[in-house]
Amino acid sequence: MKALFAGVLIVGLIGAASAQAAPDQASASAALAQADASAKKAGEMGAQWNVTVKALKAAHTAAESADYATAQTEAEKADTLAKLSIEQAKEQKTLWRNEAIK
| Summary mean pLDDT of the chain | 86
Gap between the Cα atoms of 62 and 69, Å rounded:
8
**What was the pLDDT predicted at 101?**
61
Please state the φ and ψ torsions of residue 97, each to the nearest 5 degrees: -65, -30
CA distance 64 to 49: 23
Can you give the pLDDT at residue 20? 61
Q: Nearest Cα to 75, choosing from 36, 33, 38, 32? A: 32
- Say how many domains are in the chain: 1
> Which domain range does residue 11 map to?
2-99
C-alpha–C-alpha distance, residues 34 and 51, integer Å: 17
Q: Is the pTM of this model over 0.85?
A: no
